[in-house]
Structure 1
């Protein structure tokens, strides 16, 4: 009998973790539940997808109302969630007996190595309270699993698995066929995308671009995304006199045409679980530069690798990529072909005991 699945996340913001859940929900014909509905920058959810929003207000109000919203799913379901605080909350509900359904939690990043101080302590408390209630913990890479087991020795490591992030190749190819805006059709550019937060290393990328600008006088750097670092990044652009050369494009619903038409696509992150946008870029562009910001990136064939948090290394990688006339498209496509959403969710359910 086909299992009854529910996918839960904090918001419907179009970030990597949420995109993973949407793909898995579509592949398994399951419902989505979000604690909060965002006003802008949300996932492009198809009209036939069953979705519920717990709150239009704050995330805190979403948490306070979540128990009631979970009532229809308390038994005979498999609940799949992402984000540590939410995972811990659901795990705690399992531990006290409110949830009888099985619980799968996905690690979206290695937060115990990413943060320090009070924030790290809050995660440690959340993990301790909730994660023992999870039936299965899904990590994206072997290094993430190793770190998880090291920091949480009280979790049975047999319940911690590795499952690579999914990518819907066909849908991304379709989205990439959309035309670029008229203002950007004739622009020569490289591009990057992600939340404007320190961990994404966009300041490193901007400084690296400053180093190559003279040898590529017509090239622009386009950065897509929103976040708290926008003001400081714009200030850096001004200090380096890169106005017009480096453009913060903000959030757009479909960056795929930009990925397709860029001279190169760049991942500049300092620390990641695994950057989902990297997979999208790899499908659409043969010239990919990435920092070694997550486990397994150094094993990807055909990409130009740079050290994380290193301006000189990223500068060298970008220069090499732009000056080398090589195409590794076949190698790259072989790497992503076994990452379909159907394989993703089937593999996880097979590991659930």
Structure 2
């Protein structure tokens, strides 16, 4: 696509979660504007000066949807990219109705048809059927995600689906890792994990695994970075296991890289993910990383300890083996892998794929 084209990025909110960060990374490379249907009430993405940000609502996502419709007509972009199923489908439906005439790129942020069941899964089936036929290019994070998408949506042609691994802003992560830990955390020896406090992240499994190794490593803490709806239940679990003060819920941390750098072990304990971007951030600054096989593509990553999901014993053993390792993984192995995920490679691969469809 020519550099003078008007490229618009749209997200539900500016919460600094994985999908939103990936969209912003793409926008920083090739975008003109990024719209958010609603401004997040907590932590927010950091928008660079060269990118115009528009917040359609301070009240609700629903009102953001309503305000987006007339604004799209007046802005008239050449290309729109979005990354949430409801938003993807809504934009596709507008194009199907003839209201939009722009090219649409939709990134799948998770495998909704394997993640959800019951009524919620049926709703997703409906919105995909209504909106996705008009999307020009669908971007999946892994081959497994592509297979699951096509298996559940036979109307989507294979040629319209691109597998493009998530990007990592390596330079930004490395720079952030040089910042000091504060509030006494620099004096701690700790294991670190990060993500929204939601069931899919598997934090109860990690807490149980940590408890099982605590007697061997009495000075070790477990720090969980992130905020979410499971805070109360996780706090209850921590108290029930006698781990108050040993497992620490740090809340939202704008720059987790120093924690990843100084952790004795970084852990991804998720049960199911599209792909855990935080794993890439951990690998950028730490050679001692453990991850569950919670997403396609993880089994191919070199230099990390990989285990099955939802298994306390396996996670406990992996953490102990990593703590006891006398020889660290060759950092070049990890960095060579991450070099394939540069933001510019991510952005231009997607735009080239769209051009090749034309």
Please classify the TM superposition score into its range, dividing by the shorter chain length: over 0.9
Aligned to 2:281: 280
Structure 1 distance, partners of 2:300, 2:75, is 40
CA distance in 1 between counterparts of 2:151 and 2:76 reads: 31
The match for 1:335 among 334, 337, 344 is: 337
CA contact (8 A) 1:221 1:247 kept: yes
Give the match for residue 10 of structure 1: 12
Which position in structure 2 is the counterpart of 1:312?
Answer: 313
The root-mean-square deviation of aligned C-alpha atoms, in Å, is 1.0
How far the C-alpha of 1:218 sits from its partner, in A, is: 0.5
For 2:11 and 2:121, locate their aligned partners in 1 and report how far apart those are by CA, in whole Å.
Answer: 21
Aligned to 1:189, the other structure's residue is in SS state: strand
Once the two structures are superposed, residues 294-348 of structure 1 have per-residue CA deviations (whole angstroms, 9 ceiling, x without a partner) of 0010110010111111111111111111111222211111111011111101001
Distance across 1 between alignment mates of 2:71 and 2:289: 42
Q: Is the 8 A contact 2:221 2:247 kept in 1?
A: yes
Unaligned runs of 5+ in 2: none
1:230 equivalent in structure 2:
231
CA 1:29–1:149 in structure 2 vs 1: closer, same or farther (change >3 Å)? closer
Q: CA deviation at 1:46?
A: 2.4
The answer to whether the Cα contact below 8 Å between 2:14 and 2:38 also exists between their aligned partners in 1 is yes
Unaligned runs of 5+ in 1: none
In structure 2, the partner of 1:198 is 199
Instruction: State the alpha-carbon separation in 2 of the partners of residues 219 and 43 from structure 1.
Output: 32
| Whole-angstrom CA distance in 1 between matches of 2:209 and 2:158 | 40
CA distance in 2, matches of 1:179, 1:48: 28
Mapping 1:297-308, distance limit 5 Å: 297-308=298-309
Maintained 8 Å contact 1:44/1:253: no
Matches within 5 A, 1:203-218: 203-218=204-219
Shift of residue 41, structure 1, vs aligned partner: 1.2
Cα pair 2:28 2:48 within 8 Å, conserved = no
Please point out which of 54, 79, 90 is paired with 2:56: 54
Aligned-partner SS, 1:161: strand
The reply on whether 1:269 has 2:270 as its aligned counterpart is: yes
User: TM-score, normalised to structure 2's length?
Assistant: 0.96
CA distance in 1, matches of 2:212, 2:129: 46
User: For residue 169 of structure 1, what is the aligned residue in structure 2?
Assistant: 170
Report the 3-state secondary structure (helix = DSSP H, G, I; strand = E; otherwise coil) of the residue aligned with 2:187: coil
CA distance in 2, matches of 1:72, 1:342: 29
**Equivalence for 2:187:** 186
- The alpha-carbon deviation at position 116 of structure 1 amounts to 0.5
| Counterparts of 2:321 and 2:306, CA distance in 1 | 10
Q: Secondary structure at the match of 1:215?
A: coil
Q: Distance in 2 between the 1:131 and 1:255 partners?
A: 35
How far off its partner does 1:74 sit? 3.4
Q: 1:95, 1:53 → 2: CA distance?
A: 25
Which residue does the alignment assign to 1:68? 70
SS at match of 2:62: helix
Q: Report the equivalent of 1:84.
A: 85
- CA distance in 1 between partners of 2:216 and 2:228 (Å): 30
* Structure 2 contact 14–39 (Cα < 8 Å) conserved: yes
Q: CA deviation at 1:182?
A: 4.0
CA drift at 1:29: 4.1
TM-score w.r.t. the length of structure 1 is 0.98
Contact 1:268 1:291 (C-alpha < 8 Å) held by counterparts: yes
Deviation at 1:62, TM superposition (A): 1.0
Offset of 1:58 from its aligned partner? 0.8
Checking the alignment, whether the CA contact within 8 Å between 2:57 and 2:64 is kept in structure 1 is yes
Give the Cα separation in 2 of the matches to 1:15 and 1:245.
Answer: 26
State the alpha-carbon separation in 1 of the partners of residues 249 and 134 from structure 2.
42
Q: CA shift at 1:156, angstroms?
A: 1.0
Alignment of 1:100 with 2:101, yes or no, is yes
Q: Aligned pair 1:27/2:29, yes or no?
A: yes
Cα distance in 2, alignment partners of residues 30 and 337 from structure 1: 26
- Tell me how far 1:193 sits from its aligned partner: 0.5
Of 45-54 and 212-221, more deviation after overlay is shown by 45-54
Stretches (4+) displaced over 3 A:
72-75
Q: When the two structures are aligned, how many residues end up with a matched partner?
A: 352
